[in-house]
Amino acid sequence: MINKMGLENDILRVLLTEEQIQAKVKELGERISRDYAGKNPLLVCILRGAVPFYADLCKHIDDYMEMDFMAVSSYEDGMTSHGIVRIKKDLDVSIENRHVLIVEDIMDSGNTLNHLTRLLGTRNPASLRIVCLLDKPERRTCEITPDYFGFIVPDEFVVGYGLDYADAYRNLPYIGVLKKGVYSNED
Ligand code: PRP
């Protein structure tokens, strides 16, 4: 059970400190600025987990850029995901002939981004790439890799800096491993 009074007590160990995250986001922002110089890219934030990463990353894009937002959810049938995503909120702008960069907090199975890139690819963008702060390749079930990533993480339950369990922990400034007792009966 989530103890909202003791957010920090629910964390088994810190995986990535605030300083490590901020240094990496700056590095990614500088690289993206160079790669997209003069292209006025559209950075697409996938709500809600990507919000802290997106906000910090955009501050390090040192050129003209535009923002837009999408919200998606997986179609689920009991415990299994079909790997199809439902669009809960679509983009507000056309991406035809635009340089589009999808910004995500984590690539796990890859289902969400696999489906999303197929969908956005049909809208004739000039280019379409993905930046994920975290990559969890051990969990991949489809052939997709982020064009830019910050850190490879082990297959553990990670929360913080946008990543949640039952919608909590997104506001932690660092990324940590959640104690098992929070989400199961084990300690
Ligand atoms: C998380 C994350 C990605 C997706 C990655 O979103 O933000 O969108 O899961 O998993 P996948 O690679 O297995 O598809 P989530 O559905 O938890 O929603 P949230 O962003 O609102 O937390």
Q: How far is the CA of 17 from the centre of ligand 1 (A)?
A: 21
Distances in Å between the alpha carbon of 46 and those of 67, 116, 130, 139, 178? 11, 10, 11, 20, 23
Q: Hey, where are the domains in the chain? A: 18-156
- The answer to whether 47 and 104 have CB atoms below 8 angstroms apart is no
State the distance from the centre of ligand 1 to the C-alpha of 117, rounded, in angstroms: 14
Note the pTM of the prediction, 2 decimals: 0.93
* φ and ψ of 30, to 5 deg: -65, -40
How many Å apart are CA 18 and CA 9, to the nearest integer? 17
Q: Enter the tokens of residue 107.
A: 């690539």
Per the annotation, the verdict on 108 as an active-site residue is yes
Best residue for ligand 1 mutational test, from 45, 46, 111, 115 (most atoms within 8 Å of Cβ)? 46
Quick check: 103 and 57 in contact, CB under 8 A? yes
- The closest residue, in CA terms, to atom 2 on ligand 1 is 106
pLDDT-based confidence at residue 79 (cuts at 50, 70, 90): very low
Give the nearest ligand 1 atom to 74 CA.
16
| 143 pLDDT tier (thresholds 50, 70, 90) | very high
Average pLDDT over residues 24-43: 98
CATH topology of domain 18-156: Rossmann fold (3.40.50)
Residue linked to tokens 């297959």: 155
β-strand partners of 67 = 43
Choosing from 10, 56, 105, 108, which is the catalytic residue?
A: 108
Strand partners, 129: 101
Pinpoint the alpha helices (H) of the chain: 18-35, 51-59, 111-121, 180-183
User: What are the tokens at 184?
Assistant: 């199961």
**pLDDT over threshold 70, residue 78:** no
Mutate which of 105, 119, 171 for ligand 1? The one with the most ligand atoms within 8 Å of its CB, which is 105
Joined tokens for residue 10: 């629910």
Mean pLDDT of the chain: 93
